[in-house]
Amino acid sequence: MKPFITHTGLVLPFDRVNVDTDQMVPKQFLKALTREGFGRILFYDWRYLAGEKPNPEFILNFPEYKGASILLTRANFGCGSSREHAPWAIGDYGFRAILAPSYADIFYNNCFKNGILPAILKDSDIDELFKRAEADRSYTLAVDLPNQAITDNQGLTFTFEIAPSRKEVLLKGLDDIGTSLQHVGAIDAYERAHAATATMYAPVDVKNYT
């Protein structure tokens, strides 16, 4: 996974609460077999009119936001379905960091598997960032993960929350599975210790039950 240390980029202010993952990747795109290429369809129903014509009223289609890489948004971002296609689409589109007051749990987890930083900021800080980003459509921010800070070029600095273990995953671009497999001895031991309740794990007469 690509590590996240610092990132500077154009901010796209996306002023909606409770944006659910169905909006990020509608159902018809869940039939893929790979993780690639979801950027094109991010926010599909909002972003495109009939015949896949870009909807000029949707913010992702505003020319001045071309190349935006920081998504500024509102509370409970990523609620609903567990589909990891949502962060795949966000990452593939080019967003590296999301700034919001809160996220839905599953989406939040999924971001860390894909090198995307979902930064949690205070409500009042998010309000201020919206004010600045909406006043200046070329508003850029620098995100500094080691210092958990966000700064603009007018001297504003906000800090954000992240658990130390989550931070480490992003900073080092860690592969969770590889890390967990270092504890394979503990997994073996757990399985042996719980063999006493084997009936819970190995039903009797269902060998070929499908």
Partner 1 sequence: MTAKTLYEKIWDNHVVYEEPGKPSLLYIDRHLIHEGTSPQAFSGLRAEGRKVRRPDLTFAVMDHSVPTKDRTLPIIDQDAKAQFDALEKNCKESGVRLFDMNSKNQGIVHIIGPELGITQPGQTIVCGDSHTSTHGAFGTLAFGIGTSEVEHVLATQCLVQGESKTLHILVHGKRPRGVTAKDIILAIIGKIGIGGGTGHVAEYGGQAIRELSMDGRMTVCNMTIEGGARAGMVAPDETTFAYLEGRPFVPRGKEFQEAVERWELLTTDDGAKFDMTVELQAENIAPQVTWGTNPGMVTGVTDRVPDPGSFQNPDDQKATERALHYMGLKAGTPIVDIPVDRVFIGSCTNSRLDDLRAAAHLVAGKHVAKNIKQALIVPGSRGIKAAAEKEGLDKIFSEAGFEWRDAGCSMCIGMNADVLPPHERSASTSNRNFEGRQGRDSRTHLVSPVMAAAAAIAGHFVDVREFDVTHVE
Binding residues (CB under 8 A) for partner 1: these are 16-18, 20, 22-23, 26-28, 30-35, 45, 74-76, 79-84, 87, 102-106, 109-110, 113-114, 163-165, 176-177, 179-181, 183-184, 186-187, 190-191, 194, 197, 199-206, 209-210
Q: How far is CA 19 from CA 3, 32, 79, 170, in A?
A: 26, 22, 6, 24
Distance, in Å, from the CA atom of 176 to the CA atom of 180, rounded to the nearest integer, reads 6
Which one, of 119, 165, 109, lies nearest residue 144 by Cα?
119
Of the pair 59, 142, the CB lying nearest partner 1 is at 59
Residue 142 identity (one-letter amino acid): A
Which one-letter DSSP state was computed for residue 202?
Answer: S
Name which of 25, 61, 31 is nearest 45 in CA terms: 25
φ, ψ (nearest 5 deg) of residue 48: -120, 145
- 27 versus 66: smaller Cβ distance to partner 1: 27
Closer residue to partner 1, CB minimum distance, 56 or 201: 201
- CB nearer partner 1, residue 66 or residue 181: 181
**Which tokens in the block code for residue 184?**
């394979």
Rounded least distance, CB 4 to partner 1, Å:
16
